[in-house]
Amino acid sequence: MRAGIRQETLTGVILHLRNAGESNRVVEVLSAEEGQVSLLARGARNSRKRFQGALDLFVSLRLTCTVRPGLWSLEAAEVIDPRLGIRQELARLMRASLLVEVAKALAPEHQSAARLLDVLLEGLDALDRGETRVAALAFPKLLRIAGIAPSATRCGRCGRPAPERVALDLTRGLFVCPSCAKSSLHAPAATWCGQAGDFTDADAALVEAGVVTLVEAHLGRALSSARALTPPSRAR
């Protein structure tokens, strides 16, 4: 093998797929070892036999790659978990699509991202089981790992300890107590922090929408998967 070129094995989940030329695909993966990495799968569009149908969104894989300058090459893929249950319901598919887009937006490239991957897998596994509400708890966890989550322990305006339910001030990116909030859309503080507890589907949808707002503000652009979200005004 030429100098500077080597083989490496990665374990991760597929975040995105795009076509490259007439027969190739670029597979974007979140891996524990390399964080976010793009791999060129030669001939993947023309033949399903080479990768045996393994290249699909939300699938966990063991990947054999050729490391080279520029785009790495994908040589082989072994399915660890196909998560076929996600595709059984539109609600699962929508939340999974948003979850991987948020993870993709926050994940570093070619840096270890084991914690981020673990949280993403928690959310995807919950969706695979049909637990769409539980899966929403992964969103605020991803923000905390990325270091962009506001504190939900104190009101961002008055500074008093946060009550059981707090609201997100979308204009300032702060959690505020009901007394300081103009909105009546409050969710349990624990849910905003990604902790399980007594929360409803409406709370989960509200937290999800709030996290999307924070991520979009951080990126300076919209998330395409967020267009299908239930508007917060309906998540009461």
- What is the pLDDT at residue 58? 96
Domain 6-82 class in CATH: mainly beta
- Each domain of the chain, given as residue ranges in start order, spans 6-82, 85-234
Q: What is the pLDDT at residue 3? A: 55
Q: Strand ranges (DSSP E) for the chain?
A: 6-20, 24-31, 35-41, 60-67, 72-81, 165-169, 174-176, 187-188
pLDDT at 199: 86
**What pLDDT score does 194 carry?**
84
Residue of 27, 40, 15, 231 lying closest to 106 (CA atoms)? 15
Beta strands 72-81; 35-41: pairing state: parallel
Mean pLDDT by 10 residues, the chain (236 residues): 76 93 90 93 75 87 90 92 95 94 93 94 97 93 90 84 81 80 77 83 88 89 78 43
- What is the structure's pLDDT at 234? 38
Q: Which two tokens stand for residue 132?
A: 């769409």
DSSP 230: P
Fold of 85-234: de novo design (two linked rop proteins) (1.20.1440)
